[in-house]
Amino acid sequence: MINKLYQEGYLDYSNLILNYYQKLSLTQNDVFVLIKILDLLKVRKDLKPSLIQKNSFLDKRVIEESLSHLMELGYLKIELEIKNNKGIEIYNVDSLFLVIESLLQKPSEEQDEPSIIKYLESKLSRLLSSSEIEIANSFAQRNVTIYELDSVVSKLLKKNSKITLNSIERELFSKKVAKSTEQEDLDALSVINLLKERR
């Protein structure tokens, strides 16, 4: 089922991997490499480390280490296929989807909440500073969901590849204030309409 959603372009695999990277025993580099592989597999099945490197910030050695780790974990299979008398490497992640599907079928109380800090580090492709971690922790304290955060971060990244936690915070809470004000206006309008009906 998960694999089918991925093949049809409906699966938000980045968030799935970020939500379950601990249960999947993935390192930070594994997460980056795996998401990049899934990005590339949408357009081609034959991959190689140099192609992954071209589309990421990691060096070839780190990518190869992560590929080895993913194969050890059983999430990635690299099969040799002969095409036009040439051997090409076909990447297969079917087993990864089976493992994620089994995790999704567990009761919700057994599942880990996605880490906002890990999510931000993944999106920004760097570790957060101590002051940035404080801001990230404040998001959780103010009940910001990973989905709200993803919406804001994706929007900002389209405008500028280098964004800060302060810019994320400004955008995030300006949206929340606007949404709250809009709801208050709707509530006030409902009260006015109710009073009119009682006259």
> Residue 129 is which amino acid?
S
What distances in angstroms separate CA 131 from CA 128, 164, 165, 170, one per listed residue? Answer: 8, 11, 9, 16
Which tokens belong to 136? 């990230």
Which tokens belong to 163? 């964004």
Which tokens belong to 46? 């034959």
Averaged in consecutive runs of 10 residues, what is the pLDDT profile of the chain (199 residues)? 81 87 89 90 82 80 92 88 80 88 63 67 82 85 80 86 88 62 44 45
3-state secondary structure of 79: strand
Q: What is the pLDDT of residue 83?
A: 77
Going along the chain from its start, the domains and CATH numbers come out as 2-104 (1.10.10.10), 115-198 (no CATH)
> Residue 55 is which amino acid?
N
